[in-house]
A and B are shown apart, each in its own frame.
Chain A
Amino acid sequence: MFRLLVQELKFRRNAIIGWGVGLCFFPLVYIGIYPSVAEEMAGLADLEIYAAMGVNIGTFGDWIGSILVVLLPLVASIYAIGNSTGTLAGEEEDGRLEMLVTLPLPRWQIVTAKALALMISSFLIYLIVSIVSWLVFIGIEGQIETDLMGVDMFRVVLSSWPYVFAMAMIALFLAAFCSRRRFATMISTAILVIGYFGSNLSASTPLLEPFEPFFLHTYLDGTGTAILEGQKTGDILVLLGVGAVALLLAVIFFQRRKLTVGAWPWQRDKVEK
């Protein structure tokens, strides 16, 4: 399995660099411009529209939380979904999976190696962004008032990685379950988008409040307090737990799948009499 993991990471090398550099846009722009727009943003802090989007811009901590904890994982999840569904379902569609499953490797190892590669690659992308965030913060540190330190940027960025992990594993499960990449992508994206808006709306609409725990985004806290004190351990465990369950389901369904023939797991053969 280790060999396959190494290989899968090699395949993702360009994606890690590309997405890592691309996502640095967030700290470079949003942290970088903060000193010049801080006063204007303080005046906009009470707008409901921002609350609906899960964005709070009252203080630097709130602002950082909104960008690095609320929005960054949403964009990083696009990588996670694309990459997860491209593997298994995508490889099955284009035929490469046949070469892989006919190697002397158990299927659970194939899924696990791919899952580990996804985890590591998304973590490395986050690592690049966190280092850049730290460096940008050092650049503006003298121009803003905040209790945060450079090293906190590192922690803040990495604190939302469990969300990306959960989304990656959900997408991987769907890729193992479906034989079609587009279905897996469609459903994963729906979970991402509905989770984001659902969480924000249910937090601000009493009618939707009972549904709040069902939205994955609920377990990301982008408030200034959470930025200072860190994400709640319970929230992190929920996200990691969702990811782990999704991975387990991916392994189970991939083990049972009739590969290469585009069959759905519930399809049963009917022998003609």
Chain B
Amino acid sequence: MTNNVIETRDLTVYYGKYRGILDVNLSVEKGEVFGFLGPNGAGKTTTQRVLLDVFPPTKGQASVFGKDCQKDGVEIRKHIGYLPGELALYANMRARDFFKMYEYLRKDKKSNGYWKELAERLDLDTSRKISQFSRGNKQKVGIVAAFMDRADLLILDEPTGGLDPLVQKTVLELVRETKADGRTVFFSSHILSEVQAVCDRVGIIRDGQLVATQRVEDLFAQRMNRLTLIFEDHPPVGAFNIEGVSELDLTRQSITLEVRENLPAVLTAAAQHHVMDIETHNISLEEIFLAYYSKDEGDINV
């Protein structure tokens, strides 16, 4: 039996003639935090909405907990906590009344007033009307609603949008705690640092297509190296024309290289010249991400 909480096969959504997502094949394992990365309009929200049966796919299949998202949508949603990217709340309600209503509508026994604890952690005044809240506080309301029933699967669409850094940190802590409970998080974001901080695996979606799915550490393991070699004299011309190596910068005494593969060959070539120093630079997930999205190359670069 599969251990996948989410599984999609050739999932395709068109809005009339406009592409939403195209042949997305995705699997999210139980107990992991899966980062779903992509710029605006890439298809992140569309994918989530299909999982929640907000609309059906044009083609392909999606299942959650082994059940079909369209046929068993109600049963599936009993076990999902959802934070929409475009959060709209009942403005005239007080936050506490909204949570009580949400608890009541979900027939939620697991919650048992957990929203109070969450609101306290997020420093949210639940006695105020939602209409009086800033964008960040409204986002906190959405976060509490998503986490309050300790659902087996959390689908969070850009959860830290509009939050200050301290609250962002608390939200990431909540995600980690969810994982520690053995529950699963589908974490959609375009903020790479937070994906890097909490996710086990990432899926990168571009123009509606899932272009890569990898463990975060693997992504780093095969990450690009950036080296600056400092020579006694002028850097040797053409010495680093090696496959998988690009020259980024050349000065009177140094050369900066981006090394995607063949690092030993680079070091061998460097050893044949008078190298005074070698500087290495860490490349962030953001740079790897940008490499995926590089339009110049027209294809995946990593």
Bind each other: yes
Q: Which A residues fall within an 8 A CB radius of B?
A: 3-4, 6-7, 11, 94-96, 98-99, 101-106, 257-261, 263, 267-272
Given contacts A3-B105, A270-B17, contact A102 B77 (CB under 8 A): yes
Map CB proximity to A onto B1-36 as digits: 1 under 8 Å, 0 otherwise. 000000000001111110100000000000000000
Nearest CB of chain B from residue A210's CB, rounded to whole Å: 41
**CB proximity to A under 8 Å, residues B62-106:** 73-75, 77-78, 80, 82, 84, 86-90, 101, 104-106
- CA separation between A135 and B58, bound complex, in Å? 60
- CA separation between A252 and B59, bound complex, in Å? 22
- Contact call A105/B86, Cβ cutoff below 8 A: no
- Contact call B88/A95, Cβ cutoff below 8 A: yes
- Contact call A270/B16, Cβ cutoff below 8 A: yes
- CA separation between A268 and B16, bound complex, in Å? 6
What residues of B have a CB within 8 angstroms of the CB of A96 in the complex?
A: 88-90
In the A-B complex, list the 7 residue pairs whose CB atoms are closest, starting with the nearest: A95-B88, A269-B14, A258-B55, A104-B78, A104-B77, A269-B58, A96-B88
Q: Which of A7, A99, A258 contacts B56 (CB 8 A)?
A: A258
In the complex, B49 has a CB within 8 A of chain A: yes
- Contact call A102/B107, Cβ cutoff below 8 A: no
- Contact call A271/B58, Cβ cutoff below 8 A: yes
Nearest CB of chain B from residue A83's CB, rounded to whole Å: 15
What residues of B have a CB within 8 angstroms of the CB of A270 in the complex?
A: 14, 16-17
Given contacts A267-B16, A270-B17, contact A99 B55 (CB under 8 A): no
Q: Which B residues fall within an 8 A CB radius of A?
A: 12-17, 19, 49, 52-56, 58-59, 73-75, 77-78, 80, 82, 84, 86-90, 101, 104-107, 145
Known: A96-B89, A101-B54, A269-B15. 20 other contacts (CB 8 A): A3-B105, A3-B107, A7-B104, A11-B90, A94-B88, A95-B86, A98-B86, A98-B88, A99-B89, A102-B82, A259-B55, A260-B54, A261-B55, A268-B16, A269-B16, A269-B17, A269-B58, A270-B17, A271-B58, A272-B17
- Contact call A106/B74, Cβ cutoff below 8 A: yes
- CA separation between A6 and B14, bound complex, in Å? 37
What residues of A have a CB within 8 angstroms of the CB of B80 in the complex?
A: 102
What residues of A have a CB within 8 angstroms of the CB of B19 in the complex?
A: 272
Given contacts A258-B55, A261-B55, contact A7 B101 (CB under 8 A): yes
Residue of B nearest to A96 (CB): B88
Nearest CB of chain A from residue B200's CB, rounded to whole Å: 24
Can you list 25 A-B contacts (CB < 8 A)?
A: A4-B105, A6-B104, A7-B105, A11-B90, A94-B88, A98-B49, A98-B84, A102-B52, A102-B80, A103-B106, A104-B75, A104-B106, A104-B107, A105-B105, A257-B55, A258-B56, A259-B55, A260-B55, A267-B16, A269-B14, A269-B17, A270-B17, A271-B12, A271-B58, A272-B14
- Contact call B16/A260, Cβ cutoff below 8 A: no
What residues of A have a CB within 8 angstroms of the CB of B15 in the complex?
A: 258, 261, 263, 269
